[in-house]
Each structure stands twice: as C-alpha cells, then as structure tokens.
C-alpha cells in the first residue's frame, strides 16, 4: 500500500501543494457541487447498473415495476435486496426471507455508527428524527466516500456533503431500478455484468485509499477471511469475518490500553 500513501498530499510546507489541498472546504454551495461531481462517475454508474441488474432478477421473480421500485426505495441495500428477491423466487417462507434480509443488512448498524461519527451529528446537535431519516439514505458507496473526503471537507460541512452525495445517488438508484425493467432487454448482458462487477473493485480500492492504516488492515483481514469462511458458514461468514477481522487488528491497541490502565492502578495503590 506504500504507493497509495505517496499520492496523498503531505501536510508540509512544500511549494507544490495547492492551498485548496490544505484548507478544508466549508462553503455549502461548493461542498454540494463537489459532492454531486463525486457521484457522477464510477459511484453513480456502478450503482445505476447494480439496480438495473436488481430490476432484472426482480422481474424474473415476478415483481412488478411498482414492487421492485418500492423494494429499492425502502430497503436501499443491494445484498439484502438480492437475498430477498432470490429467496422469493425460490419460494422461501416469509420468516426465512425476513431473517436473510436482516442478516445481510446487519452491517448497516456499524456503518451508521461510523457515519454518525464522520458527520458529527452529536457534536453539532442534529435532531434525532433528522438523524433517523438521514441514515435511511446511507449506502456502502456513500459511507466509503465520506471516509475518503474527510479532511478535504470541513467538519461542519460533512452533513451537507452527505446530503449532496447520498440523495442524488438515491435518485440514480431508483432510476436504475425503473429503467432496468426495460433496459434489460436492450443492454447486452456482457456490458451489464462488467459494469456491475466494477462496484466491488471500486469499493475495495476506496478502502485502500483510507487514511487510517488500522482500517485498511481491518479491510484486508476481513476480505481474506470472508471467502475462506464462506464454504463453512454461508452468509454468516460476513458477520464472523467482520468481528474476527476487526478485533484482530484492534488487539494490540486493546492490550496496550490494558497495560496503561494496570500501570495507573498500581501507581494509585502506592501511598
């Protein structure tokens, strides 16, 4: 990952760095424009065609346009949507389908905790209802984008960036679901497949760009563990890979913190 680290602007006094690289953007209009510019490109394109792909399998499963659109709008999480549609097609019971969707989307909870921290909902005293509504629009693409632009966008403008990125992405996703119903007959399968396949590549490369070495390591361990555990654990592999991977990279820090605590305790006992 050495090469990745080199491209980041170093926060030194060197001449070749533009002032804009050093000062975070806080002007709301510029932040919204920046967010919307960031959506256009691989994030928007990948999500649009993922939703086209979803509409294709939803139609095959017997969903109407309204039902497919409602699923994208209300669930807004690809792994859960695909699980729901394919289990429905297989004739699974309601309980099985709902459990599968819940399992596939459990990671949302941790992504939301991370996002609430990144946006600074607590620090800026955003109302609870506003927060609960906002997080509905969170997708993996948006979360990783927030982590990457952190520092380039001023802390107080992160919520504006979130809205400027997540809401257009939501509209693009719903458009993809709608058009997917008809596009699937026109777009050749090889093209659709290739564009859908760029999403995992893109998300993984975005994780590689995150500033925190700890989180990059967590991603690496999780990414290696999940396919190894999958043959044994099936869909549970993601949950287990996440908890084991995350805990593994955190272990040195937990141990160090315990050492400090113990040292403090020992000092406290001495008169």
Partner 1 sequence: MTPDHPLYLWMLILLAFLATDIWRWFGVLLAHRISPESLMMKWVNAVAYAMVCGVMVLVVVHPSGIVASSGLIARLPALLITMVIMIRSGQTLIAVLAGALTFLGLDWLFPLS
Q: Is position 213 an interface residue for partner 1 (rule: CB under 8 A)?
A: no
Site for partner 1 in 148-167 (CB under 8 A): none
Beta carbon of residue 29, minimum distance to partner 1 (angstroms, whole number): 26
Binder to partner 1 among 89, 163, 167, 220 (CB under 8 A)? 220
Size of the site for partner 1 (CB under 8 A): 110
Site for partner 1 in 69-88 (CB under 8 A): 70-71, 74-77, 79-84, 86, 88
* Residue pointed to by tokens 């002032």: 19
Q: Is position 9 an interface residue for partner 1 (rule: CB under 8 A)?
A: no
Beta carbon of residue 145, minimum distance to partner 1 (angstroms, whole number): 12
Site for partner 1 in 230-259 (CB under 8 A): 230, 237-239, 241-247, 249-250, 253-254, 257
Residue of 39, 45, 55 whose CA lies nearest to 163: 39
27 versus 64: smaller Cβ distance to partner 1: 64
Residue of 161, 63, 76 whose CA lies nearest to 118: 161
Site for partner 1 in 14-43 (CB under 8 A): 41-42
8 versus 27: smaller Cβ distance to partner 1: 8
Distance of CA 154 to the CA centre of its chain: 20
| Cβ contact 155:118 at 8 Å | no
* Residue pointed to by tokens 């549609």: 85
Binder to partner 1 among 35, 153, 157, 218 (CB under 8 A)? 218
Site for partner 1 in 190-209 (CB under 8 A): 190, 192-209
Site for partner 1 in 85-104 (CB under 8 A): 86, 88, 91, 94, 97-99, 101-102
Q: Is position 224 an interface residue for partner 1 (rule: CB under 8 A)?
A: yes
| Cβ contact 214:190 at 8 Å | no
| Cβ contact 210:182 at 8 Å | no
What's the CA angle centered on 99, arms 237 and 199, to 5 degrees? 55
Q: Is position 131 an interface residue for partner 1 (rule: CB under 8 A)?
A: yes
Beta carbon of residue 31, minimum distance to partner 1 (angstroms, whole number): 21
């Amino acid at each position: 990952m050495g090469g990745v680290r080199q491209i980041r602007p170093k926060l030194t006094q060197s001449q070749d760095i533009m002032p804009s690289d050093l000062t975070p953007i806080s002007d709301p209009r510029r932040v919204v424009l920046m967010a919307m510019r960031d959506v256009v490109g691989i994030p928007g394109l990948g999500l649009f065609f993922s939703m086209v792909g979803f509409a294709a399998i939803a139609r095959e499963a017997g969903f109407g346009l309204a039902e497919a659109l409602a699923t994208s709008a209300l669930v807004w999480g690809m792994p859960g949507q695909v699980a729901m549609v394919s289990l429905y097609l297989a004739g699974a019971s309601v309980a099985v389908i709902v459990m599968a969707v819940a399992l596939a989307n459990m990671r949302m909870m941790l992504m939301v905790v991370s996002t609430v921290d990144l946006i600074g909902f607590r620090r800026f005293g955003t109302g609870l209802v506003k927060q609960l509504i906002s997080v509905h629009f969170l997708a993996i693409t948006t979360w990783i984008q927030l982590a990457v632009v952190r520092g380039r966008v001023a802390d107080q403008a992160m919520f504006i960036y979130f809205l400027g990125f997540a809401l257009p992405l939501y509209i693009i996703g719903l458009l993809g679901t709608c058009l997917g119903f008809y596009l699937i007959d026109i777009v050749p399968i090889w093209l659709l497949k290739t564009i859908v396949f760029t999403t995992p590549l893109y998300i993984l490369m975005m994780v590689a760009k995150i500033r925190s070495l700890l989180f990059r390591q967590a991603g690496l361990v999780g990414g290696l563990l999940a396919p190894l555990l999958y043959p044994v654990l099936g869909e549970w592999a993601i949950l287990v890979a996440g908890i084991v991977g995350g805990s593994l990279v955190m272990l040195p820090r937990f141990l160090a913190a315990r050492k400090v605590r113990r040292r403090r305790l020992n000092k406290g006992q001495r008169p």
